[in-house]
Structure 1
Amino acid sequence: MGISERDVTTPRGRVHVRETAPSGAGPADPARTDGAGTVVLVHGNCSSSAFFHHLLGRLPAGWRGLAPDLRGFGDSEPLPVDATRGMRDFSDDLAALLDTLGITRAAFVARSAGAGAVMQLAIDRPDLVGPVLLEAPMSPYGFGGTAGPEGRPCWPDFAGSGGGTANPEFVAALAAGARGAARASSPLSVFRSLYVVPGTALEDEDLLLDSVLSTRTGEHHYPGPAVPSENWPGTGPGTTGMNNALSPRYFDVSAFADVVGVGPVTWVRGDADAIVSDTSLLDIGHLGATGAVPGWPGEETYPAQPMVAQMRAVLDRYAAAGGAYEEIVLPGVGHSPHLEDPDRFTEILARVVA
């Protein structure tokens, strides 16, 4: 299946997309323009549509693939991110793209932070969202600063989330386009240790590294500014940029549980995910508990964020309200199931859109 790239101008800006045309026998009619048979693939933080390059070529027969670069990533117009809207800048961009292309309903593959954008889209525009495959999705209560399956804030100002939690050496290496792996904080080292299970061999690693390095950095993009806090660990979310948009101060898609007419949902995660888990290596609460961040105020005040438990609690509510979901855990897989176990992931996707 051939993959092409183009820019689509929408009322909200220019969006760069990778796409395929339907091929072979299947449920989609290539002549239709109402989105029948369209799978929209939405990438996560510090990546781009290039992460789905091979998956686009493995879509089930008859299905069109559409993978956009979110603002601040890849080759889309680098529009600023208003963090006070949570992920709505991204979900509104997705809605504008689908509306511009005349796609009235689609299936979605939503990876990591991209899951937050798609869940927000489902809340605001449920008419657009059919079956959803959540791949290693972030918590519905954002990244950092919450406790318990109900996502209660550890501090009133959500300290421990936002732009100040990013590793400044990693940010500097992104900005410099560094390609080496001599430092643990280099983009390639971070990819090899966190995006996938360490030791994973990927033929297209250079393409994937290019995708990571396409991340725009700064005040309005990744990670965004920090605000000093009197609460541990001393930093809170600012009002612009990617990591601040992921702060639970602004981001909460738990209302997905009450959305009608969306789904079914298939939740795929690896049991060795180091980024999204109940003991995430990037979560301030967990890092404090392990002594990596000094001054931790203790388990009662600031526990590790139970990201998996929080997602399960919201999806259980979604099911109780009449929705349907399935949780699939892949053994020995990390934060990128479609890269680490592509055959199994493709099988799951075929079932999702069947």
Structure 2
Amino acid sequence: MTVQFYINKFQALKPDKSSGHAKPHKVCLLLAVIEQIEQGFITTNKVIYNDNLKSRFTYYFEQLQQGNDKDTPYLPFYHLQTSGFWHLDVKPEYQEEFSALKAASNSNISRYVSFAYFDEELFDYLKSPATRHALKDALIHNLDSLEVQYQRWALSIGKSEKTVKNYVGALKGSISNWLYDAGISKENVLSIGSYAQYSVVASKALQIEEFRAKNTTGNGMYSAALKSYQSFLADVTQVNVKDDIDKILNDENTTATEKSTLVNTRIGQGAFRDKLIQYWQGCALTRYNKMQFLIASHIKPWASADDKERLDPNNGLLLLANIDKAFDLGYITFTEKGKIVISPYLDDYQVLGISKNMGVNLNQQHQDYLAYHREVTFKK
């Protein structure tokens, strides 16, 4: 089968819309699997239903879930069979019991299924960077419109409804019109789901004379809108993480063991996360202690840190996903005594569960990392 055949298949997954919106479960599971193929955790055509896969499903699910959607990775693992390209290898001794199943559960998937596997041609396409990105982009078509997804994402990181409305209006209105008039793009900007394609379009938009003039009189609102949508696409497709991991894997001065440790640290797994869990015993800010909802976050950003700093647990906070995002983007930071500082650019921070009387308990080894975060990362 051609890659276009599978692109069409990915675009036609038919997610459950019984709740009035497209449930993201199948998309999230496939994004998690593709990520594991990219990063070398899956090297043969066998997808095992394990904690690693479930953790990465949860990451994507937190970005895309709506309303009362439930974090249930076993459902897409089971129901993707209907796609025609996803197959389950059922243990021989449980064939009869599995065929009689009326509903999937976390326990019966783990008990009955050895692994899932793709059509062989599709697995080859997913291993190749040349075709993998097109397949990943195709998955986004199964969700609500990109405009709706972007609005939900922007609100989730603390942007006010007014700001989000202004950004959406600028992106699909003025900016799209300027790009059309300049002969650069005939698409509504908010219909572009490819990070690479959008990045090219956005860089060209910045050079349009009318854009530059209006951006100046609008106090940078248009460039802020462009950057915000780019951050959304990067977040959903984990572009920045992939770039960092590629650099690790291509470093000839790093041993295979060191590469494995650094890759695990970059995606919030392994010893680094375990040490943060042991130290913080829950969210550093709220004390919430359900570990599956917590992110291992670097204080001094990964891209700015050396390998020693990347592995140092003192360069880490354990945070709820929404708070982690605000910290990672520089919308909150902490004083030397651990008191929270909220950026003036973070609108409606209360909707993220953040308040001005919050704080974290710091040790002396945290101080240099947080000083860097306050001076470089924090949006003053």
Instruction: Give TM-score, length-normalised by structure 1.
Output: 0.29
Larger RCO (alpha carbons 8 Å, 6+ apart): 1
Larger helix fraction of residues: 2
